[in-house]
Amino acid sequence: MDSNFFVKIHGLGNEYIVLNSRHISFKIENKAIQRICNVNFGIGSDGILLLVESDKADIGLRIFNPDGSEAEKSGNGLRIFCKYVFDFGIVNKSAFTVETKGGIVKANIDEVVNNKARIITVDMGHAIFDSKLIPTNFEMPQVDNEIIYAGERPYEVNCVSLGNPHCVILKQELVIEEIKQFGPLLENHQMFPNRINVQFAKVINRNEVEVLIWERGAGFTLASGTSSCAVASVLRKKGLVDEDVTIKMLGGQLKIHVAADYAIRMTGEVREICTGTLSKELIEDFI
């Protein structure tokens, strides 16, 4: 594999650049991440996935947002990463484990087309509703329908962690302009010490939910795996959906299974966009 080789892959329009830590000539730091992810001065991406060594799983993954911050876990990012390591022969089996900052994840390649992974299932671990572990600054053990203000607008929030923090808000109607306006205020609200991912969710029936997403460190995004898992787990806890639910986002849909103990399994498609090599001139701009 060439030095500074990259692959760009998307899951439902949520796109990531994948790099191998063994084959890059620079350090993954804020300036590098921000430049590479920039749509005008770099390649353009919703983040960077970095393959690293692991002594706890088959392979290790670090996830970086376009602002340079590091995420504990990403559902779409995980499926994208699993496609990368399978397609390029870094792992040679259809079932394997991935170590992330948010824990070890079990992955399975469900469908292969022309020797390329197409449909991937990822076990996302257990939903965590403990207020302090998410974390939040609320005093109550769990955050269910608690009112907070974004500017002058009140929102009833429900919080959960899938290895990263989420704030689910039930809505009768979904308005893109609203989440773009109030998403950043909710993300950076004082009740969320590590910031938070925000989802507006509209229940269609017991097996279908529509969602808009404001992602911590990335902003308005077309799709998110952990956000889908967060919405499904919160709605399952409220008794509003069944254990199998399809989360419909602007970028596409994911199938989420929520077990009785809130173990979460996610299934969805991933597709490669392009491969290439980061140019010397680009790297000169951030080293």
Please give the pLDDT value at position 73.
83
Do 102 and 160 share a domain, yes or no? no
Is residue 32 in some structural domain? yes
Same domain, 203 and 277: no
Torsion over CA of 71, 123, 224 and 172, rounded to 10 degrees? -120
CB 209 within 8 A of CB 201: yes
Asked whether residue 136 is domain-assigned, the answer is no
Q: Are residues 30 and 117 in the same domain?
A: yes
Per residue, what are the HEC states of 259-279? Answer: CCCCEEEEEEECEEEEEEECC
Residue 131 is assigned to a structural domain of this protein:
no
- Examine residue 243 and state whether it is found in any structural domain, yes or no: yes
What is the pLDDT at residue 14? 87
In this structure, the answer to whether residues 89 and 164 fall within a common structural domain is: no
Spatial contact of 63 and 74, defined as CB atoms under 8 Å apart: yes
Report in angstroms the alpha-carbon separations of 106 from 35, 111, 140, 262, 271.
Answer: 32, 16, 32, 16, 20
Lookup: tokens for 266? 């996610």
Residue 261: count other Cβ atoms within 10 Å of its Cβ.
7
Domains: count for the chain: 2
| Shared-domain flag, residues 75 and 153 | no
Whether 119 and 33 share a structural domain: yes
Residue 139 lies in a domain: no
Query: Peptide bond before 184: cis, by omega within 30 degrees of 0?
Result: no
Place of tokens 């994208």: 80
* DSSP-assigned states of every residue in 150-163: ETTEEEEEEEEESS
Domain of 19, CATH number, reads 3.10.310.10
Q: Same domain, yes or no, for 234 and 203?
A: yes
Residues 109 and 160 in one domain: no
In a domain, 128, yes or no: no
Mean pLDDT by 10-residue block, N- to C-terminus, for the chain (287 residues)?
90 93 93 95 95 96 94 90 97 96 93 96 94 97 97 96 95 97 97 97 98 93 92 98 97 95 96 96 92
* Selection from 123, 146, 122 nearest residue 134 by Cα: 146
Burial of 69: CB neighbours in 10 Å, binned 0-12, 13-18, 19+: middle
Q: What's the residue count for the chain? A: 287
Token readout for 264 is 């979460």
Q: Is there a single domain that holds both residue 229 and residue 162?
A: yes
Same domain, yes or no, for 16 and 101?
yes
Do 173 and 199 have their domain in common? yes
For residues 55 and 35, what is the distance between their CA atoms, to the nearest angstrom?
Answer: 31
Confidence (pLDDT) at 74: 86
At 235, which helix (H) or strand (E)?
helix 225-237
- Tokens at residue 46, please? 């919703």
Question: Is 192 domain-assigned?
Answer: yes
| Within-domain flag for 135 | no
Whether residues 243 and 164 share a domain: the answer is yes
For residue 32, the enclosing domain spans 5-123+270-284
